[in-house]
């Protein structure tokens, strides 16, 4: 790298954690009273994780009215909060890799609501690794817009030229690029490899542990 990476921003779902089961259960629970017929299965829902919830519903063919959408969002969030991250697991090598990169400035940028993101990170014992957690908050457009990435850098007092955005979906890569960061796609998450490659990330890795060789450690 021409300039050393000093800051690494990580997406959460599909990058640090495999949360597909908990997200799918909450999604199905919230959708069940609003629609008729068979609900989408876990695999179908997982293809759209990383998008805002309303966009996930639309992508799966559910066009909810404004009152229905409000009910859906409230039900999803309350169910997710009540059930926690009981099925959520870290991807292999995440804890060891974050330890190895502890000399760098580390942050999380996620589409999850702020409180949800903080709760899940506590549940999987990752909170202490990150100097900032940037979730979805009012006034900021979500990825692929650069807003949350820019907000995270501002909170960390770091410049984009020496920062890397790591994520598993096109939205992560596009947001990082739009904010002026180097980007790294991971292939083990929810995003399709072909879609990630079309976004032309600077780097592509097959395991989270590969980050150590990419950006170095202490």
pLDDT of residue 3: 72
Mean pLDDT value across residues 92-98: 98
Mean pLDDT of the chain: 94
Mean pLDDT value across residues 2-31: 94
Residue 1's pLDDT band (cuts 50, 70, 90): very low
What's the longest Cα–Cα distance across the chain?
Answer: 55
Q: Look up the domain containing 164 and give its range.
A: 7-18+89-215
Percent of the chain with pLDDT over 90: 89
Whether the bond between 126 and the residue before it is cis, its omega within 30 degrees of 0, is no
pLDDT of residue 17: 98
Are residues 149 and 9 in contact, defined by beta-carbon separation less than 8 angstroms? Answer: yes
Mean pLDDT value across residues 13-35: 95
Say whether 11 is catalytic.
Answer: yes
- Do residues 175 and 119 both lie within one domain? yes
- Do residues 68 and 51 both lie within one domain? yes
- Do residues 135 and 178 both lie within one domain? yes
Given the residues 11, 13, 147, 172, the one annotated as active site = 11
The residue out of 43, 58, 83 marking a domain boundary is 83
Mean pLDDT value across residues 187-199: 95
pLDDT of residue 150: 98
Three-state SS annotation for 39-54: CCCHHHHHCCECECHH
pLDDT of residue 83: 83
Q: Does residue 2 register a pLDDT over 80?
A: no
Q: Does residue 36 register a pLDDT over 90?
A: no
- Do residues 99 and 162 both lie within one domain? yes
- Do residues 66 and 99 both lie within one domain? no
- Do residues 97 and 144 both lie within one domain? yes
How many domains does the chain contain in total? 2
pLDDT digits (tens, 9 = 90+) for 37-54: 899 999 999 999 988 899
Mean pLDDT value across residues 86-105: 96
Mean pLDDT value across residues 167-188: 98
Mean pLDDT value across residues 129-151: 96
Tokens 């949350």: give the residue.
148
- Do residues 14 and 122 both lie within one domain? yes
Q: Does residue 84 register a pLDDT over 70?
A: no
- Do residues 73 and 94 both lie within one domain? no
Residue 217's pLDDT band (cuts 50, 70, 90): low
Q: Does residue 154 register a pLDDT over 80?
A: yes
Task: Identify whether 1 is part of a domain.
Answer: no
Mean pLDDT value across residues 89-101: 97
- Do residues 183 and 115 both lie within one domain? yes
Report angle CA 74, 78, 82 to the nearest 5 degrees.
Answer: 175
């Amino acid at each position: 790298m021409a300039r050393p990476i000093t800051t690494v921003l990580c997406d959460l779902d599909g990058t640090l954690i495999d949360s597909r089961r908990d997200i799918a259960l909450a999604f199905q629970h919230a959708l069940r009273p609003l629609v008729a017929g068979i609900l989408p299965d876990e695999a179908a829902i997982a293809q759209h994780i990383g998008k805002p919830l309303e966009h996930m519903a639309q992508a799966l063919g559910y066009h909810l009215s404004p009152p229905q959408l409000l009910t859906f969002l409230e039900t999803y969030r309350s169910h997710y909060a009540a059930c926690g991250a009981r099925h959520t697991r870290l991807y292999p090598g995440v804890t060891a890799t974050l330890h190895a990169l502890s000399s760098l400035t580390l942050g999380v940028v996620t589409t999850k609501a702020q409180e949800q993101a903080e709760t899940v990170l506590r549940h999987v014992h990752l909170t202490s690794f990150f100097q900032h957690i940037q979730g979805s908050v009012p006034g900021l457009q979500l990825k692929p817009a650069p807003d949350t990435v820019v907000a995270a850098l501002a909170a960390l007092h770091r410049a984009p030229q020496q920062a890397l955005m790591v994520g598993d979906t096109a939205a992560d890569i596009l947001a990082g690029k739009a904010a002026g960061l180097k980007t790294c796609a991971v292939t083990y998450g929810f995003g399709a490899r072909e879609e990630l490659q079309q976004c032309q990330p600077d780097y592509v890795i097959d395991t989270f542990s590969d980050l150590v060789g990419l950006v170095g450690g202490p």
